[in-house]
Structure 1
Amino acid sequence: MTAPIADQSAEQLPCPTRLSDVKGWFFTADQLMFDWFLAHQQDRSVAGDLLELGAYMGKSAIFMGARMRSDERFTVCDLFDSPAEDASNSQEMNKSYATLTRRAFEANYLSFHDELPSIVQGLSSVVRDHVADDSVRFAHIDASHLYEHVHGDILSVRELLTEDGVVVLDDYRAEHCPGVAAATWQAVTGEGLRPICITGTKFYGTWGDPEPLQKALLEWLQSRKDVWHEVQYINDAPLIRLSAKSAKEPAQPVSRHKAKATVPKPARPAQRPAAGPKAPASRPAGRPVPRAGRSVLRKVALDVLPPIVTRAIVSARRKARAGR
């Protein structure tokens, strides 16, 4: 079930040169929140490992792996190419993730990291056989969208998290998976899960005390002019809501593959002007104007000068001819 090393065929797949090349849905607001929670825990030397249930092509896993300490363990659990073992879940897998393969995940992850995480290939319900209780400080649940599976994942993660560990639930409000919403809020109202904050796609909560995290998060949000936020109350408990549509992404994991250099297109040759009469070349200063040119100048002068001047010129020309 667990395999830490990728097979050689993974190296033959296309290699992403940046995180945005990896398929998946991991928006700026959630990148900022993952970054903030993981850094906040590390700054306070919060002990614990990392866990992700449902990896797709590895986008969020790659991000989490870049924030992991060297003495920590990162476990990723996903069906990948395995059968779902029940009819309803198999139908969802075939519809939504027909192209999902473990090799693609491994190739993507190894484009950014030297080693794979601990991979559990199977249903998320088996994760407790591979991860110790009270050992996880940050868990991301993004596996099945079916109510009974999400409910089971939440209960499993509750046992795996440390006292102040943080759990993230994806698609808690998406219209195409109401089972996730039902399981999320049921955990809040009946399973002791306490909300910290929400983005447009993910719910962040803890079974510990959310107040210190919310206080620190609000201080950080107030310093960010590019992240909108507000505080709402649910059953008299505060909940931070935030959006980061105009914010920049946090520091991204660096791929070991360089982007192909763009070869500049050759400059297009200047087009020749359309065929037509050539303009007269400029004449060096001091050279006399030919006779034909003088006659043209005289004609122009006679047309534009005042009549009295024109008559004087005509009279002078007649006298000059008479004297020849």
Structure 2
Amino acid sequence: MTRELDGIPGWFWPADQRLFDWFLSRDDRGDLLELGCYLGKSAVLIGRHLRAGERFTVCDLFESGSGSGSGEPEAGSYKELTRERFERNYLNHHAELPEIVHGPTSVILDHVEPGSCRFIHVDASHLYVHVRQDVDSARALLTADGVVVFDDIRSEHTPGVALAVWEAVSTLGLSPVCLTTQKLYATWAEPSRLREELLGWLKGQDDLWHTVDPLGDHQLVRVNQRKKAAQPPDLKRVTADLMKVTAELRAATREVSESRPVMRRAVGWARRLRRR
């Protein structure tokens, strides 16, 4: 999947792609929702897991939210975000578009049924007041065992996201399950079974590093992409290269040695001509 998504701009790292696949492949039933889609990188992956009878809804301001009036400090970074580009990227991988709500995420409760979503990805505004509203919307829209994923939970330029999400953990009963470099995976259900299933899967994933940390009354699984080990040098190739260089140096040395008598004679002739 990573290679398929490489051509779509966006910040959706391989470890999170793997985790999305796992969470979305679970046996739960329900609809899918993404609040904030940028150019479709994560939406394309989510759409791969849409099952018969389910709905996939995407909500975004698109180009209407890219100006300085949006209130986002980095709004200018999204000038290339247009609905047309999102739709083109999505249709490069899927036959049909998801249901698109072109507007602020504050209207999502008018378009999605409460208690209908098994998976929600929140990657919209970074402002506390908006994220707090997205938290409330996710709580209302999730099924009893549904999973919500919050992006930019750890970025230095998005403290409003961190405040709103950890506040939900502290005061609204949100249970954190898994944390990556960018995202928090959480649920309002009792999390122990989900956590154990995740840990069982992670044990078989050699490319993913993980650990479990206590977090107050919670146990938080931290996951990251394991760095690839440096490949040992190809000794046969290195030896062949050294032999080639050695042979070239020997040939050059012979050429210099053979040219010395000629050079000495030329110098002698030059001296005799100067004396004349």
Which residue of 9, 13, 18 maps to 2:4? 18
Identify the residue that residue 313 of structure 1 maps to in structure 2. none
Cα distance in 1 for partners of 2:191, 2:177 equals 6
In the alignment, the residues of structure 2 paired with residue 244 and residue 85 of structure 1 have an alpha-carbon distance, to the nearest angstrom, of: 35
Opposite residue 73 of structure 1, the aligned amino acid is: R
- Is the contact made by 1:84 and 1:90 (CA closer than 8 Å) also made in structure 2? no
**Partners of 2:111 and 2:30 in 1: CA distance:** 15
Could you tell me which amino acid in structure 2 is paired with residue 102 of structure 1? Answer: R
Residues 1:138 and 2:119 are matched in the alignment: yes
Match of 1:186 in 2: 167
For structure 1, the 5+ residue unaligned runs are: 1-16, 248-324
Equivalences for residues 190-205 of structure 1 within 5 A: 190-205=171-186
SS at match of 2:210: strand
Match of 1:71 in 2: 53
The match for 2:21 among 28, 31, 35 is 35
C-alpha contact (below 8 Å) 2:66/2:76 kept by paired residues? no
CA contact (8 A) 2:66 2:75 kept: no
Note if 1:165 corresponds to 2:151.
no
User: Which stretch has the larger CA shift, 57-66 or 18-27?
Assistant: 18-27
Counterpart of 1:14? none
Q: Which residue of structure 1 lines up, in the alignment, with residue 38 of structure 2? A: 56
Equivalent residue for 1:149? 130
- Residue 116 of structure 1: aligned partner: 97
Shift of 1:225: 2.3
Query: Match for 2:216 among 228, 235, 254?
Result: 235
2:57 maps to a residue whose letter is: T
Structure with the larger helix share: 2
Q: Is the 8 A contact 1:167 1:206 kept in 2?
A: yes
- Counterpart position of 1:269: none
Counterpart residue identity of residue 192, structure 2: E
Q: 1: distance between equivalents of 2:89 and 2:66? A: 23
> How far apart are residue 84 of structure 1 and its match?
7.6
Paired with 1:161 and 1:137, the residues of 2 have a C-alpha distance of 6
Q: Which amino acid aligns with 2:156?
A: E
Larger Rg: 1
- Shift of residue 91, structure 1, vs aligned partner: 4.8
Q: How many residues end up aligned between the 2 structures?
A: 226
Deviation at 1:85, TM superposition (A): 10
Instruction: Give CA-to-partner distance per residue, 1:22-72, whole Å, 9 cap, x none.
Output: 0001101100110011112xxx3x210000000000000000001111221
Amino acid at match of 2:109: R
1:28–1:245 Cα contact (<8 Å) kept: no
Report if aligned partners of 1:83, 1:90 keep a CA contact under 8 Å in 2.
no
SS at match of 1:69: coil
TM-score normalized by the length of structure 1 = 0.67
Q: 2:142 and 2:65 mapped to 1: Cα distance?
A: 28
| 1:146-179 deviations in Å (ceiling 9; x for gaps) | 1110111011110000011000000001001111
Aligned counterpart, 2:207: 226
Which residue type is aligned with residue 25 of structure 2? A
Q: 1:29 to 1:215 in 2, by over 3 A?
A: same
Contact kept? 1:84, 1:93, Cα under 8 Å: no
Relative to structure 1, is the Cα distance of residues 93 and 104 closer, same or farther in structure 2, using a 3 angstrom cutoff? Answer: farther
Identify unmatched segments of 5+ residues in structure 2: 229-276
Partner in structure 2 of residue 213 of structure 1: 194
Query: CA distance change for structure 1 residues 135 and 229 in 2, over 3 Å: closer, same or farther?
Result: same
Aligned-CA RMSD value: 1.8
Q: Quick one: distance in 1 between partners of 2:135 and 2:117? A: 13
Percent of aligned pairs with the same amino acid: 51
Deviation at 1:237, TM superposition (A): 1.4
The secondary structure found in structure 1 opposite 2:162 is helix
Q: Measure, in 1, the Cα distance between the counterparts of 2:158 and 2:40.
A: 21
Letter in 1 for 2:48: A
